[in-house]
A = this chain, B = another copy of it.
Amino acid sequence: MLELAILGLLKEQDLHGYELKKRLSETLGPLSSASFGSLYPALRRLEAAGALKAVEANELLVPARAVPMTGSLGGELAAFRARKPTRTSSGGRTKKVYGITTRGEELFHELLRTAGESSDDDRTFNLQLAFARHLDREARLGMLERRRAQLVERLTKARTAIRTGRDRLDMYTSSLMEHGTETTERDISWLDRLIAAEKRQEDQQ
């Protein structure tokens, strides 16, 4: 769900593709990554869906030297158009800054609520949690409980797999599975702390 990440970041601030990519890999760290090969198509998809609009197409090709003091807008435009053909095809230093639309905000909340309902993908949940502040307490609690249930199920299956494959499993595989279940247990405890904190705040209102 790259769309969710894009919309979430653009909700806070208008950004262009390259900057978006940097924030995805730095700020959101390994929670989302994403490459240009998926980012730019995603931006076009979202723009086509009316969730984004190109706020500003900042042509950095505009020379630094001052434009003649005629104040003529026509001259500006002519110069702009004249420069365009120098770009043989795509690319270059042209910035395309995107902003989120009302439709985009709606889509964002839609994705934030429903993503991860089917599919217990870790990265999707991380992304949802990273933007959980945009949800009301009830939806947030629902999301956390749903995730908890998924992890409990995963734990059950993992334990069954360990019990079933006893003896057949070599040292490395069993160590891997053991460590995996411990990690899942800790994830559940962590979720429980988040849920408890959420309910505490609910009571205090």
Residue ranges of A at the interface with B (Cβ–Cβ < 8 Å): 26-27, 29-31, 126, 129-130, 132-133, 154, 157-158, 161, 165, 170-173, 175-177, 179-180, 182-183, 186-187, 190, 194
**CB-contact partner of A157 in B29, B158, B183, under 8 A:** B29
Residues of B within 8 A of A129 (CB): 172-173, 176
27 A-B pairs, CB-CB below 8 angstroms? A26-B161, A27-B161, A27-B165, A29-B157, A29-B177, A29-B180, A30-B154, A30-B157, A30-B158, A31-B176, A31-B180, A129-B173, A129-B176, A130-B173, A130-B176, A132-B172, A133-B170, A133-B171, A133-B172, A175-B194, A179-B187, A179-B190, A182-B186, A183-B183, A183-B186, A183-B187, A186-B186
